[in-house]
Structure 1
Amino acid sequence: MSTISDEDLLAYADELLNLVTASTIEAKLRKDSSLRERLQALLDGRDSGSISIGEVWRHGRISCPSRSEMGLYLMNALEAERLDYLAFHLESVGCAYCQATLEELKTAAESLELNAQDTQRRERLFASSAGFLQARSASE
């Protein structure tokens, strides 16, 4: 990444970049005072109300899918075109918000699956113990 665009600097400030790109920009910001001044000027301009359409889209996360749509994506339950778009949004665009949402949904799904397995195991154990207890109480 030789030249850092204004959009990338603002995306860095908003923590919207993937880890590699954000780390690269952060390292350059630490070394280059003119880059820090440029970032500050961009932030000042944005705060005064002069923002681009791209910034409106990024801030409003207009291109981001809903949480429920992310869940359907995780279950592979969307039409092909929408699956392709979400894969592009997550992998090529690298939307940090949506990647975090997807990870959270994956963790929740794994937790539910483990809870379901525990419940099934307890039910089987109870069923086998109930039969044992019934046979024992009948013999007494």
Structure 2
Amino acid sequence: MKRTAQARWTGALKAGQGHVSSESGVLAESPYSFPTRFEDKQGTNPEELIGAAHASCYAMALAMMLGQADLSPDFIDVDAAVTLDQTEGGFAITRIHLDVRASVPGASEADFLDAAQTAKTGCPISKALKPAITLNAQLV
């Protein structure tokens, strides 16, 4: 399986702009720029896209882990906070924090937390990312 996305940047870093698209069409010429990345202006940015990819991948991985324990979640909500810091070598994603809330009928706290941790390390996006990934998981 292979998925694709495309990006085009035009102009200098601060005055330029880019557009990003995805094979599925969910992203279609979505704008991004220096201000949307570093100045909190409206628009997307690479860190937001990584956060969305990680949150959605993790939710599916957790559903799989719960299913292997014969548990079916009513819902799994995942917020991913991607931190971009300036380091000695330039900017770098230094950590990603996953905040998870789930309703899983019949799950014990211990079983849920075990599945949550297993999903954190087993999620393909987690495997692809190098920063420390932290997790806060709540069974509700």
Q: Compute the TM-score of the two structures, normalised by the length of structure 2.
A: 0.26
Greater helix content: 1
